[in-house]
Amino acid sequence: MQISANTLPIVYALRAARRLVPVRGWERAFRTAFPPDTQRPFFFKMKIFESIFAMDAASYLDWYALFYGHHGGSDLVLARQIVSRLGHPVVVDVGANAGHYSIALAPLSRVVHAFEPDPDVLKRLFANIELNAHLQIKVHGVALGAADEELPFTPSPGNNRGVGVFSNDGPVLLPVRRGDDYLARHEISGIGFLKIDVEWFEFPVLAGLRQTIERDRPVILLETDKPMSRVGDQLPRDYRFFAHRRRYGFSNSTILRSVDEEYSDSDIFCIPSESMHLVD
């Protein structure tokens, strides 16, 4: 079926049933009933946490949010818990996409600095911010990296929007700025929470933010497929690594567990020693 005004009630009924009966197989049922790869554009608005998002059924990320309630899975729920315990911190969102984390974290933050270099994705980010104009979100249309440069970029394919990558054969050039220098020029400091989701560009981002991380010692939510031994080389030595406990494929868990240096997965919370109480 296509997601439309007529079928949205079915979607909401399936989502409610999943919450009541959290067993395996719901995602398979969702995909069978409403295949994400074949959805046609259908635009609607949806409340996620305290905010409103402009949604498109043809976007995989919005399809995910429609069925699971929000865009970030357990990691976003955990991020909101941690940010709330930090007491309205400054948040930096590197790889902001359409604002899924920035807008969800903004009500709990002093200000969110959202970094997104892809011009097409920026349009959706600004549209979502406009729907939530009361939030303190400042947009920076550049990527952060290890040096000031212009790098070739390959935009997202198909309906998987916002997951473009820097690659040698990319058809467009996008601006990259060394993180420490850029934040200093724009007087961004006192960062309590740093989220990095940049599709295999995380190590240049961490290298460019080394001084900022050593100074501000933020909690970091990092998407990476690298082992923690390599991630640890990019951070102060007393940072520890945590992942959420998985249940039923797409996890509902909001419990963090410590992981060792051989662990590798997509989303990791990196926490400095003085902030360990945040995950108790």
For 222-264, the pLDDT digits (tens) are 999 888 889 989 999 999 999 876 554 444 556 788 887 777 7
Q: Which residue has the higher pLDDT, 25 or 280?
A: 25
Predicted TM-score (pTM) of the model is 0.91
160 pLDDT above the threshold of 70:
no
pLDDT score recorded for residue 249: 45
Place of tokens 């309590």: 192
Q: Sorting pLDDT into bands at 50, 70 and 90, what band is 265?
A: confident
| Arithmetic mean of pLDDT, 111-124 | 95
Q: Sorting pLDDT into bands at 50, 70 and 90, what band is 159?
A: low
CA distance 143 to 174: 8
3-state helix, strand, coil in the chain (%, to 5): 35, 25, 40
Domains of the chain: 8-68 (no CATH), 73-279 (3.40.50.150)
Task: Choose among 114, 62, 111: nearest CA to 83.
Answer: 111
Asked which of 138-142, 156-160, 222-226 is least confident by mean pLDDT, the reply is 156-160
Q: What average pLDDT does the structure give for the chain? A: 91
The radius of gyration of the chain's CA atoms, rounded to the nearest angstrom, is: 19
pLDDT score recorded for residue 250: 45
Asked which of 19-23, 147-151, 262-266 is least confident by mean pLDDT, the reply is 262-266
Q: Sorting pLDDT into bands at 50, 70 and 90, what band is 158?
A: low
Reading across the β-sheet that carries 143-145, which strands appear in turn?
143-145, 172-178, 149-154, 165-166
Q: How many helices (H) and strands (E) does the chain have?
A: 10, 14
